[in-house]
Each structure stands twice: as structure tokens, then as C-alpha cells.
Amino acid sequence: MSRMKMVGGLCSLAAALGIPSKPADADEKHFEVTHSDAEWKARLSPAAYNVLRQHGTEPPGTSPLDHEKRPGTYFCAGCELALFDAKTKFDSGTGWPSFFEPLKNAVETSQDNSMFVSRTEVHCRRCGGHLGHVFDDGPPPTGMRFCMNGVALDFKPQSH
């Protein structure tokens, strides 16, 4: 299967799961949470700023969230929107926290051509922060792997 067909297939699968997609060059003013670049820099750690606002990637194996196993919820580090239930987390062996499904109305996707190959970027639907990418090599029931940067997430354990 061609890489372009695979990306199209991922976008179709994401749409079937109710995950909206937007063109990579879409106007970002639609986000509910917006800040100036200086405000984002002041609000976020340098690593979180690099990932969330500059589309960076943290080095694999560096996030403690990759090994987090407690029940709870993963939130956007930029705007605190709930993104993933810990029940959907799995060990992908990639060195990044991975999930097979986001919470409803939590993320959006767009096409990312930055690495000489088309990938499907995942970003926070509320602030537009870059979270990572989604691939079609995940476990059932969705077959998707939402490969997220740990610095883009905050984890809150379930309270008893």
C-alpha cells in the first residue's frame, strides 16, 4: 500500500471514530484557548513549548509517562483539556506514551509532511497544541496507535 493511501486510510479511520481532521494550513483562530507566543513561552516548560507550539518531538524513552500504569486521565499540558483515559494506554515499545483511542471531542488530526513522508498529526482540539502522531499499527479495538509526547501531557491519577 502506498504511503499516501495509508495516510488517507488513517484519516478515514479517524473520521469513522469521530476525530475531526483539518488541513495543515487551516486558520488556527478557531481554537478556544489562544495565547501569544510570549505567553505560551511563559506558561510552558521549554520542552513542552518545543513540542506543543513548535511541533518538536521529545527523545524516545525520556518521559516518565511512558511507564505510568495507574488509572487516571491524561490532559493537554497546554490547556488542561482531558485527552485520554488511562484504560486506553498500552505499551507500544516505541518509547512514547501510546493510546488506542482518545476521549470524545478531545483531539483533531491534520496531515504532516515535515519528515519527507506523510503522517497524521494529532493536536489538542481546544488549543491546537501538537501532541504527536497517529498510526494504524495499534491494538484492538481500534487498530490505532496515538503516539504522544509525554511533555505535551499531564497525568492525573484517579482519586479513590
Residue whose C-alpha is closest to residue 71's, from 83, 60, 86, 59: 86
- Give me the catalytic one of 11, 76, 79, 147: 147
- For the chain, where are the alpha helices, taking DSSP H only? 3-16, 37-43, 46-54
Is 147 annotated in the active site? yes
Answer yes or no: are the C-beta atoms of 72 and 157 closer than 8 Å: yes
Residues 6+ apart with CB under 8 A from 114: 55
Rounded distance, CA 156 to CA 10, Å? 29
* Active site members: 147
